């Protein structure tokens, strides 16, 4: 029982800090996503490509989580983002307190979008609210068509799901209908965006992202002019 | 401090049960591996191919860990293995107690080899001893050449590392020298076996596995005839 209580207390404490992060980001008019996917599904490549598409039009910040190395931070910084790297050591996910400290190192008022690239892991990050506006789940066709069914918690928690590496579909065994059927059974409403980061067909992703950012800006302005 | 103590107690309790599992497997003359890799690196496909190569020569048992579904168990059972599926719900790794209960459902004396296919996750399973003889870490070229550096705990803990999907190398960005250099920096002695499960070039893997199984048998016989 004491073990269960400790876990419950940790999650409650996490949620309280996440709520503070969320308020802070909303006050600054920043739209924030938590990007969750397995190691090598293409999260960092997606961020690089997203930066190249959007960094002339808006300011983007990134918090990059990894057990070790600052390789992701270096790659993303080279594309013009303001990056804070969090090395978690043996930690399998980011938590709200780590994000709170990372936010201290970012000038939020200058940002339009903050992307939190979570530690490569389809399981543990799902349960930890970080203060994001949207959870983005990412799979790739190389991982096999059973991954939606095998990771129901992510599929149910996600606001949008990305299916990457469609350029490799012809080289791997991946039954698209099976994947989509499993996904729809778990979360009938979730939006699926299929893309190939290396081929650069990111239009639907960019469109989804910019519409959310504009909505966040409008809300922020609306609140600001309310009495 | 109390949270740290709980984690330490959990790990100590796990290690005690793992030692019991190990003794039980040694007494039965079973060689046991813990297979750890990210979702979609090819663990289940490797087990299917391994079964097809070895199930005429020996008896193989499998414990398959997943959050949800019994799809892996069904695939492996179709190849002739004795399978116990463990669904972990939101659990990100197998622990020794789950394996202990699974062992109750397997006639160990009839087995030569037991493969524990851990939950698809490169992080959490590494810290939990299950009672295995060898930890096998599995990567694929589709995940990128930075994964050894980003997952140092698995690289350091592994007795052998597999690099799968070499058939896709020509279609993806993967610098083999970078991957191997990072791996060697972390663990100079670990054996690396590069393979493509779909192409079936498993000779080095099968050879590694059979030599270990024979050694386990010899040790078991030697112990049995000692006074």
Residues A111 and A91: beta-carbon distance below 8 Å: no
Cα separation values, B88 from A206, B91, B95, B149, B209, Å? 36, 5, 10, 28, 27
Q: Are the Cβ atoms of B168 and A68 closer than 8 angstroms?
A: no
Of B2, B40, B127, the CB nearest to A90: B127
Q: What is the pLDDT of residue B171?
A: 97
Instruction: Compute the distance between CA of residue A48 and CA of residue A75 in angstroms, rounded to an integer.
Output: 7
Q: Are the Cβ atoms of B40 and A6 closer than 8 angstroms?
A: no
CATH number at residue A179: 3.40.50.300
Q: Per residue in A128-141, is it b (16+ CB within 10 Å) or e — as a string?
A: bbbbbbebbbbbbb
Indicate the DSSP class of residue A225. H
In a domain, B223, yes or no: no
Between chain A and chain B, the number of residue pairs with CB atoms below 8 A apart is: 114
Q: Per residue in A74-85, is it b (16+ CB within 10 Å) or e — as a string?
A: ebbbebebbbbb
User: Does residue B37 carry a pLDDT above 90?
Assistant: yes
Q: Which percentage of chain A shows pLDDT scores above 70? A: 94
H/E segment holding residue A87: strand A82-87
Q: Alpha-carbon dihedral of residues A81, B141, B37, A38, nearest 10 degrees? A: 30
Q: Looking at this predicted complex, what is its ipTM?
A: 0.93
User: Does residue B3 carry a pLDDT above 70?
Assistant: no
In a domain, B135, yes or no: yes
The bridge status of strand B31-37 relative to strand B134-140 is: parallel
Q: Are the Cβ atoms of B152 and A68 closer than 8 angstroms?
A: yes
Closest CA to B139 of A222, A142, A178: A142
Closest CA to B117 of B125, B109, B107: B125
Q: What is the pLDDT of residue A219?
A: 76
| 3-class state of residue B81 by DSSP | coil
Residues whose CB falls within 8 Å of the CB of residue A150, separated by 6 or more in sequence, listed in order: B39, B66, B67, B68, B69, B71, B120
pLDDT, tens digit (0-9, with 9 covering 90-100), for B185-222: 999 999 999 999 999 999 999 999 999 999 888 877 66
Mutation choice for B interface testing from A40, A144, A145, A152 by most B CBs within 10 A? A40
Phi, psi for B199 (deg, rounded to 5): -85, -15
Closest CA to B70 of B91, B50, B55, B84: B84
Mutation choice for A interface testing from B5, B88, B142 by most A CBs within 10 A? B142
The number of domains in chain B is 1
Region at A120 (left for phi over 0; alpha for psi -120 to 50; beta for the rest)? beta
pLDDT, tens digit (0-9, with 9 covering 90-100), for A187-226: 999 999 999 999 999 999 999 999 999 988 887 766 544 4
User: Does residue A4 carry a pLDDT above 90?
Assistant: no
Q: Are the Cβ atoms of A124 and B124 closer than 8 angstroms?
A: yes
Residue-number span of the structural domain to which B148 is assigned = 2-215
Locate the DSSP E strands across chain B: 31-37, 60-66, 82-87, 113-117, 134-140, 160-164, 191-194
In a domain, B220, yes or no: no
Instruction: Compute the distance between CA of residue A114 and CA of residue A42 in angstroms, rounded to an integer.
Output: 18
């Amino acid at each position: 029982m004491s073990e269960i209580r400790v876990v419950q207390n940790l999650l409650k404490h996490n949620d309280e800090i996440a709520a503070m992060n969320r308020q802070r980001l909303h006050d600054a008019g920043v739209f924030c996503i938590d990007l969750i996917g397995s190691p090598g599904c293409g999260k960092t490549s997606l961020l690089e490509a997203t930066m190249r598409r959007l960094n002339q039009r808006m300011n983007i910040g990134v918090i990059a989580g990894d057990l070790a190395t600052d390789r992701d931070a270096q790659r993303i910084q080279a594309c013009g983002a303001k990056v804070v790297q969090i090395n978690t050591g043996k930690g399998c996910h980011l938590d709200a307190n780590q994000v709170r400290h990372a936010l201290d190192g970012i000038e939020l008022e200058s940002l339009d979008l903050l992307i939190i690239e979570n530690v490569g892991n389809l399981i543990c990050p799902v349960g930890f609210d970080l203060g994001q506006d949207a959870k983005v789940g990412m799979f790739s066709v190389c991982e096999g068509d059973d991954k939606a069914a095998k990771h129901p918690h992510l599929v149910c928690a996600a606001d949008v799901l990305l299916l990457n590496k469609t350029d490799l579909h012809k080289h791997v065994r991946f039954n698209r209908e099976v994947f989509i059927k499993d996904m729809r059974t778990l979360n009938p409403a979730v939006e699926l965006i299929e893309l190939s980061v290396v081929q650069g067909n990111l239009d639907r992703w960019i469109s989804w992202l910019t519409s959310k950012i504009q909505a966040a800006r409008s809300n922020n302005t609306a609140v600001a002019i309310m009495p």
